[in-house]
């Protein structure tokens, strides 16, 4: 893809016309600063001026040649030949000089152009055509160029082919504008002529000019009532690589905006004015939308609101190089119109196109078919020549015929059809000889049989030749049709490929997004897993500690039980032995966390108290043993109810941990 390129804008001020001078028009408000490329407008009833800067400004004295050179039109032609689309369009109010700038011809009373090809006043179109062919001729590369032309007018929102006379009959609905998937327009059934010289192109251009709709009104005696688009398609075949570049040059002469109050239009011309103004209004909206668009931003551009803007879609904000020629009539009377033209021309200056080379390597096949058609055309014209000669011979005497036939035999016909015709003739002859006895058909009127003896290769009847000719024409048509079909298929393929490319791009993006999401997800799982593992480790640790404690407590419990099953002490010894608070003792010596100790000491309290209330034994040995056993275990005692209580407590703690973990608030500080 190429870099952005803003639309080029050149402003041209025409001189005052003779009628305007005689009507007393003044030129005091508009001036042209060619040094700084500025147009300066001094506003009425104030000292204020408005200044507009453009790529090129050209005053009343600018000749057609100067205009062509100043606008660097040859650079645009080079761009065209290197595969870029180019558009040159003239814009401005009615009578401001658009048609003069583009065509440069005078018109007669019937509003038909007076063609003077070598006149110095010829405009942009004839000059561009001439320069284009000069460039093609001077091209030293291995590129072969073919130029095609089409010419349409958009009249009251209908498209007419100016090169197809059938299109110009009254009531014709015009041609259909179609869109392909890439939103590129194409016009159905448009006549396209291959041209091999500037004269051929000019011939088509002039014949189309004669067909465009013109009218007279107060502001212009030769006013265009339609927008005309003369399009040259250039196919450049690189004979080495077989690649084809196909670029388009659109030369557009827009109809001018019209204020009915000053044009004095009525009836049909007024209706035309309304339609012209409508389509120009859409064009202005397109220009405004595109000029307000910031880089990277997408705005709605109402291309589809008119045929004109649809057709110009690729030229304004599209993929080619574009030059806008803003035309101004200098009279003070047209100040408002000029301000409007200058304002839209300024906006157009900020519109950027992204020029793209139109490479089409698949069109190699088209070139091959085109060559074949060229050869067939050649053959066909030779066949015609021979038919003419043979019909001349048929009326000669036998001797003269033989002489003439030898002459024909020596003529330098290039095509291979002579051999083919010979083979065909042999087949026909053998078929005829087989058929002859039963045939009821009259003998051929042509003198074919007479030539058999001299073996010249032309001994066939005019009937056979006519058949052959018919065959050739059919074959020719067939090839033409298949060529057209192939071209259409290629265009469709190209479009499909483009659509697929953008789809693939989208899929790539989506794939990338999904990958990123998957990676994030994986990371999140990993983090979760690590925190889970930490938590399990902590739980295990706590569990181990608890198990250890339980074991210690069970050991103590057993010892206490062993003591408890011994005979009770006597009542009177009770007071010498009792502990004030077993709880205090247990709490002081236990390494178990205080809440657990509190819990089981509460449960154990009753049992311990029972144990305290037993009288000490009278036997000193037993008494000592009892005392020792009690001292050893007094911090770790428990009974069976204490056992199950601790277990329940432990389960509660574990379930709390589990619950917290599940709810994502794992707490290992129990
Ligand atoms: N640069 C010029 N030098 C001399 N005459 C000019 C120039 N420009 C325009 N004219 C003359 O001005 C008149 C109006 O010009 P033209 O027909 O080109 O206007 P237009 O903008 O095409 O009008 P419309 O929109 O009505 O078709 C014509 O008679 C034309 O010859």
Q: Are residues 12 and 136 in the same domain?
A: yes
Length of the chain: 670
Would 496 be classed as within a structural domain?
Answer: no
- Give per-residue pLDDT as tens, 199-221: 999 999 999 999 998 888 887 88
Decide: 97 in ligand 1 pocket, CB within 6 A: yes
Decide: 111 in ligand 1 pocket, CB within 6 A: no
Find the largest Cα–Cα distance for the chain: 176
The percent of residues in the chain predicted with pLDDT above 70, rounded, is 72
Rounded to whole angstroms, the Cα distance separating 71 from 415 reads 48
Q: Are residues 173 and 310 in the same domain?
A: yes
Given a cut of 60, whether residue 499 has pLDDT beyond it is yes
> What sections of 565-639 are H helices per DSSP?
574-577, 582-589, 594-613, 620-633
Q: Give the best-scoring range by mean pLDDT among 85-89, 259-263, 526-530.
A: 85-89
Rounded to whole angstroms, the Cα distance separating 445 from 466 reads 13
Ligand 1 center to 105 CA (angstroms): 10
Given a cut of 90, whether residue 440 has pLDDT beyond it is no
Domain final residue, candidates 431, 460, 489: 460
Would 488 be classed as within a structural domain?
Answer: no
- Give per-residue pLDDT as tens, 513-533: 888 888 888 888 887 777 778
Would 465 be classed as within a structural domain?
Answer: no
Q: Give the best-scoring range by mean pLDDT among 277-291, 383-397, 427-441.
A: 277-291
The single-letter DSSP state of residue 16 is P
Q: Are residues 535 and 561 in the same domain?
A: yes
Would 450 be classed as within a structural domain?
Answer: yes
Q: Which residue has the higher pLDDT, 328 or 486?
A: 328
pLDDT of residue 95: 94
Given a cut of 80, whether residue 50 has pLDDT beyond it is yes
pLDDT of residue 421: 61
Instruction: Give the CATH number for residue 158.
Output: 3.40.850.10
Which H/E stretch holds residue 390?
A: helix 364-394
Decide: 255 in ligand 1 pocket, CB within 6 A: yes
- Residue in 122, 174, 131, 181 with CA at minimum distance from that of residue 153: 174
Q: Are residues 238 and 271 in the same domain?
A: yes
pLDDT of residue 415: 57
Q: Are residues 306 and 381 in the same domain?
A: no
Nearest CA to ligand 1 atom 31: 100
Q: Are residues 348 and 378 in the same domain?
A: no
Decide: 8 in ligand 1 pocket, CB within 6 A: no
Mean pLDDT in residue range 174-201 = 90
Percentage helix, strand, coil for the chain under 3-state DSSP, each rounded to 5: 55, 15, 30
- Give per-residue pLDDT as tens, 645-669: 555 555 665 555 554 444 444 333 3
Ligand 1 center to 157 CA (angstroms): 24
Q: Are residues 176 and 289 in the same domain?
A: yes
Ligand 1: residue of 124, 215, 222, 283 to mutate (most ligand atoms within 8 A of CB) is 222
Given a cut of 90, whether residue 25 has pLDDT beyond it is yes
Given a cut of 70, whether residue 452 has pLDDT beyond it is no
Would 414 be classed as within a structural domain?
Answer: yes
Mean pLDDT in residue range 414-426 = 61
Would 282 be classed as within a structural domain?
Answer: yes
Ligand 1 center to 97 CA (angstroms): 3
Domain final residue, candidates 331, 359, 387: 359
pLDDT of residue 332: 95
pLDDT of residue 424: 62
Nearest CA to ligand 1 atom 10: 97
Q: Which residue has the higher pLDDT, 296 or 421?
A: 296
Would 579 be classed as within a structural domain?
Answer: yes
pLDDT of residue 218: 81
Mean pLDDT of the chain: 78
Mean pLDDT in residue range 375-384 = 80
pLDDT of residue 392: 73
Binding-site annotation: residue ranges for ATP = 92-99
**Where does the pLDDT of residue 425 fall: very low under 50, low under 70, confident under 90, or very high at 90 and above?**
low
Domains: count for the chain: 3
Decide: 100 in ligand 1 pocket, CB within 6 A: yes
Please report, for residues 575, 603, 612, the alpha-carbon distance to residue 580 in angstroms, rounded to integers and kept in the order given.
Answer: 10, 18, 10
pLDDT of residue 135: 95
Q: Which residue has the higher pLDDT, 389 or 347?
A: 347
Given a cut of 50, whether residue 453 has pLDDT beyond it is no
Cβ neighbour number for residue 592 with a 10 Å cutoff: 22
Rounded to whole angstroms, the Cα distance separating 148 from 194 reads 4
Mean pLDDT in residue range 170-191 = 86
Atom of ligand 1 at shortest distance to CA of 255? 25
Given a cut of 50, whether residue 641 has pLDDT beyond it is no
Contact 151, 161 (CB under 8 A): yes
Ligand 1 center to 95 CA (angstroms): 5
Q: Are residues 351 and 378 in the same domain?
A: no
Contact 586, 634 (CB under 8 A): yes
Decide: 220 in ligand 1 pocket, CB within 6 A: yes
Q: Are residues 378 and 304 in the same domain?
A: no
pLDDT of residue 382: 78
Given a cut of 80, whether residue 631 has pLDDT beyond it is no
Mean pLDDT in residue range 297-307 = 91
pLDDT of residue 648: 56
Domain interval for residue 385: 364-460
Ligand 1 center to 542 CA (angstroms): 100
Q: Are residues 434 and 345 in the same domain?
A: no
Contact 634, 582 (CB under 8 A): yes
Q: Which residue has the higher pLDDT, 563 or 643?
A: 563
Mean pLDDT in residue range 577-599 = 39
Least confident of 469-473, 494-498, 642-646: 642-646
pLDDT of residue 484: 82
pLDDT of residue 583: 38
Rounded to whole angstroms, the Cα distance separating 234 from 80 reads 8
Extract the tokens encoding 77. Answer: 């032609």
**Where does the pLDDT of residue 454 fall: very low under 50, low under 70, confident under 90, or very high at 90 and above?**
very low
Contact 122, 248 (CB under 8 A): no
Domain final residue, candidates 410, 439, 460: 460
Q: Which residue has the higher pLDDT, 141 or 233?
A: 233
Q: Are residues 275 and 377 in the same domain?
A: no
pLDDT of residue 657: 53
Would 392 be classed as within a structural domain?
Answer: yes
**Where does the pLDDT of residue 448 fall: very low under 50, low under 70, confident under 90, or very high at 90 and above?**
very low
Q: Are residues 331 and 295 in the same domain?
A: yes
How would you label 254-279 residue by residue, b for 16+ Cβ within 10 Å and e otherwise? bbbbbbeebbebeeebeebbebbeeb
Ligand 1 center to 423 CA (angstroms): 64
């Amino acid at each position: 893809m190429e870099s952005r390129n803003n639309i080029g804008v050149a402003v041209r001020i025409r001189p005052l016309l003779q009628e305007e001078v005689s009507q007393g028009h003044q030129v005091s408000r508009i001036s042209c600063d060619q040094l700084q490329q500025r147009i300066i407008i001094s506003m009425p009833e104030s000292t204020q001026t408005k200044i507009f800067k453009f790529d090129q400004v050209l005053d009343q004295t600018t000749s057609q040649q100067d205009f062509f050179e100043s606008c660097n039109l040859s650079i645009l032609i080079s761009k065209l030949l290197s595969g870029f689309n180019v558009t040159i369009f003239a814009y401005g109010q009615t009578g401001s000089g658009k048609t003069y700038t583009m065509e440069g011809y005078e018109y007669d009373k019937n509003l038909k152009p007076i063609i003077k090809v070598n006149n110095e006043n010829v405009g942009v179109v004839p000059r561009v055509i001439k320069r284009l062919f000069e460039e093609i001729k001077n091209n030293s590369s291995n590129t072969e160029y073919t130029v095609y032309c089409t010419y349409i007018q958009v009249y009251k929102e209908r498209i007419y082919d100016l090169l197809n006379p059938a299109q110009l009959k009254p009531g014709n609905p015009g041609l259909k504008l179609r869109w392909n998937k890439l939103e590129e327009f194409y016009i159905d059934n448009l006549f396209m002529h291959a041209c091999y010289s500037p004269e051929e192109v000019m011939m088509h251009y002039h014949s189309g000019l004669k067909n465009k709709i013109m009218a007279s009104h107060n502001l212009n005696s030769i006013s265009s009532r339609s927008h005309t688009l003369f399009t040259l398609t250039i196919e450049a075949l690189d004979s080495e690589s077989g690649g084809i570049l196909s670029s388009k040059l659109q030369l557009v002469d827009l109809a001018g905006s019209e204020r009915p109050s000053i044009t004095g239009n009525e009836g049909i011309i007024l209706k035309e004015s309304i339609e012209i103004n409508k389509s120009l209004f859409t064009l202005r909206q397109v220009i405004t939308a595109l000029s307000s668009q910031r880089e990277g931003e997408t705005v709605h551009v109402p291309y589809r609101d008119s045929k004109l803007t649809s057709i110009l879609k690729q030229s304004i904000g599209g993929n080619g190089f574009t030059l806008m020629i803003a035309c101004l009539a200098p009279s003070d009377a047209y100040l408002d119109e000029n301000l409007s033209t200058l304002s839209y021309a300024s906006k157009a200056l900020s519109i950027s196109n992204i020029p793209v080379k139109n490479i089409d390597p698949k069109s190699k096949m088209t070139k091959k078919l085109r060559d074949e058609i060229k050869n067939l055309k050649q053959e066909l014209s030779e066949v015609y020549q021979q038919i003419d000669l043979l019909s001349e011979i048929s009326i000669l005497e036998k001797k003269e015929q033989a002489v003439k036939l030898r002459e024909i035999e020596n003529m330098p016909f290039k095509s291979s059809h002579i051999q083919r015709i010979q083979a065909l003739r042999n087949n026909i002859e053998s078929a005829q000889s087989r058929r002859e006895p039963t045939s009821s058909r009259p003998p051929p009127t042509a003198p074919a049989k007479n030539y058999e003896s001299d073996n010249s290769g032309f001994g066939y009847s005019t009937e056979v030749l006519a058949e052959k000719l018919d065959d050739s024409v059919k074959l020719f048509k067939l090839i033409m049709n298949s060529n057209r079909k192939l071209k259409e298929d290629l265009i469709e393929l190209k479009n499909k490929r483009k659509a697929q490319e953008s789809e693939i791009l989208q899929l790539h993006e989506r794939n990338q997004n999904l990958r990123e999401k998957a990676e994030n997800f994986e990371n999140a799982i990993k983090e979760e897993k690590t925190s889970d593992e930490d938590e399990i480790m902590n739980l295990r640790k706590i569990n181990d500690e608890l198990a250890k404690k339980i074991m210690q407590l069970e050991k103590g419990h057993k010892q206490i039980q062993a003591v408890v099953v011994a005979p009770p002490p006597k009542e009177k010894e009770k007071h010498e032995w009792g502990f004030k608070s077993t709880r205090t003792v247990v709490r002081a010596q236990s390494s178990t966390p205080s809440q657990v100790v509190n819990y089981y000491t509460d449960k154990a309290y009753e049992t311990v108290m029972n144990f305290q209330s037993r009288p000490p034994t009278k036997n000193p040995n037993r008494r000592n043993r009892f005392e020792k056993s009690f001292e050893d275990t007094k911090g770790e005692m428990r009974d069976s109810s204490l056992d199950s209580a601790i277990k329940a407590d432990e389960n509660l703690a574990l379930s709390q941990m589990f619950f917290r973990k599940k709810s994502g608030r794992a707490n290992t500080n129990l």
